[in-house]
Chains A and B, each alone.
Chain A
Amino acid sequence: MCPEIVDEAAQVWFGPQHVSAHGWATKLTIVGDYIVECDPNAGYFHRSAEKCLEFRNFQQGALIMERLCMLEAFLAEYPYVKAVEQIAQLDVPERARVMRTIMMEASRIHSLQFWWGQFGAELGLFAMTLWPWVDREYFLDAFEELTGSRHAVSYSAPGGVKYDFNEKSIKMLERALDRLEDRLPKFRDMILRSPTFKLRTKKIGLFDAAQGLKWGLSGPNIKACGIPMDLRKDDPDPNLAYEMCDWEVPVTTNEDHPGQCDAYDRMSQRFKEIETSASIIRQLLPQVPEGPIIDPKARAKANRLPEGEAYGRVEGTRGVTTLFLKTADKAQTPYRAKIRGPCFASYYSLKHLVPGSTFADFVVIFGSLDPYPGWWDR
């Protein structure tokens, strides 16, 4: 920055007290209405989750993982469970595999529904906030019917799942999907064709795929650039049942700027994600086989693990979510657990994305990246 600009510049802290700042603090250097420098600061949500994992046994660890990101609780707890299954070499019954996949996709829909409602609030379109949040309640009711809790579901366990589908929980899940499939196309057309929405989001937060990959972005933020990068297809998990259904990785290609994505593309990409997840659930629900939901010896086997290392990963709502687990011999607790959340990359990419935009667009840029502070403050 040249010295004349620095003299004029003002420094503004966006957060941690701002409502739409999600409990995080970003230092913005502003000249007039334009942002010239953006300095993201992680650490305001730090709860030392990785250290907590070292003091919990292998049944209890998944509880901490799901509390990192309550919105995608089914997805968040899975990497831990997967890593434990790898080290203990547990077999997952067929029924549990399908049930896990169904609930993880339902969790993805729920999280994305919450996100686009919240994105509406960040844009100042408050009616848009309430539409998906009503539909989301139906998914929460289905989760409650199945697991007994609306957010802290505690569903996956090493070697299977804890709660079995009953007639009512399947009915409630189908009811939620019916409502979603009825209302989502209307909302999508209404929002994506809205001139107000286009004015706020087109050409805002533009980056190309090479930049995104360099910053470490993953998930919908990269798929919006037109790259079909998805762990569900790229690295099929033997403990999940994505190969049992027919689906394509949703990508968004914009003709105005191919290979790049703006906030508008990221919004339309996430609508496609919701539709894909709904179609996966629709295909898997009739295919749930009969049988046990958990290996009866899994609890005893996961009590003490042999020495080993494992790397559990899953395509989360916001991107690739991984957990590295290392155990000592006959250990009851992990020696080390390292979490890689998807949002650390998207939060620090603001440093490159934001400078040059106006202050009003800053909210749009960070909202469109779908950040969640639990994933960067572990």
Chain B
Amino acid sequence: MGFFSTLGDIFRVLRHTFRQTMTRPFTYFYPFEDRYYPDTTRGRHIHIRKNCTACAQCVKACPTIAIRIDKQDRMYEKDAALHFDYTRCIFCGLCVQACKFNALFHTKIVDLSEETREDLQYGPDRMGTLERKPLKWRGRTFR
């Protein structure tokens, strides 16, 4: 192997290295940016209480007993409050398929990390909205 061919190899490697430093990394800068989620993503649910008729079909369909219904808690004429236990939910989608009144949907939110186990039990106030408290870490705010 000659001197010049070795030098050529070194330059080839260096060219590749410099080209890679200028390009964007293949990974995502989570949590600054998130990956693409399709519309069908089975993330956490949203409960639209205006459409709910308190038929409890979602509770019957759930294979892991993650949904609890409270028929006394009414906001409209015939709706009910849903309590979701996300420590049990397996995101199978049976509850959403069981709902015939367009009251329960999956959303694209899949990062459900919380500090305590109790925080993963979503009450009716959190089931009705997608807003959540921002995540603060080292003085910066994400989400």
Query: A148 near B63 (CB under 8 angstroms)?
Result: no
Of A146, A154, A168, the contact of B93 (CB 8 Å cutoff): A154
| Interface residue total, chain A, C-beta cutoff 8 A | 16
What interface size band does chain B fall in? 10 to 19
Mask for B80-105, Cβ within 8 A of A = 1, else 0? Answer: 00000000001111100100000000
Q: What B residues does A152 contact at CB under 8 A?
A: 90-92
Interface of B is mostly: loop
Q: What B residues does A60 contact at CB under 8 A?
A: 61, 63, 92, 94
Mask for A32-67, Cβ within 8 A of B = 1, else 0? Answer: 000000000000000000000000100110011000
Query: B92 near A168 (CB under 8 angstroms)?
Result: no
The reply on B38 being an interface residue by CB < 8 A is yes
The reply on B126 being an interface residue by CB < 8 A is no
Mask for B19-41, Cβ within 8 A of A = 1, else 0? Answer: 00000000000000000001011
How many A-B pairs have beta carbons closer than 8 Å: the answer is: 39
Query: A59 near B40 (CB under 8 angstroms)?
Result: no
Distance of A338 from chain B, by nearest CB (Å)? 20
The reply on B42 being an interface residue by CB < 8 A is yes
The reply on A149 being an interface residue by CB < 8 A is yes
Query: B93 near A148 (CB under 8 angstroms)?
Result: yes
Interface of A is mostly: loop
Query: B41 near A154 (CB under 8 angstroms)?
Result: no
Cα-based distance from A63 to B38 in the complex (angstroms)? 22
Distance of A20 from chain B, by nearest CB (Å)? 26
Q: What A residues does B78 contact at CB under 8 A?
A: none
Query: B38 near A144 (CB under 8 angstroms)?
Result: yes
Query: B41 near A144 (CB under 8 angstroms)?
Result: yes
Query: A63 near B40 (CB under 8 angstroms)?
Result: no
Interface residues of A (CB under 8 A from B): 56, 59-60, 63-64, 144-149, 152, 154, 162-163, 168
In order of increasing CB-CB distance, the 10 nearest A-B pairs are A148-B40, A60-B63, A148-B42, A145-B38, A148-B41, A154-B92, A63-B92, A149-B42, A56-B63, A63-B63
* Subset of 19 A-B contacts with CB under 8 Å: A56-B63, A59-B61, A60-B63, A60-B94, A63-B63, A63-B92, A144-B38, A146-B40, A148-B41, A148-B42, A148-B93, A149-B42, A152-B90, A154-B92, A154-B93, A162-B93, A162-B97, A163-B40, A168-B38
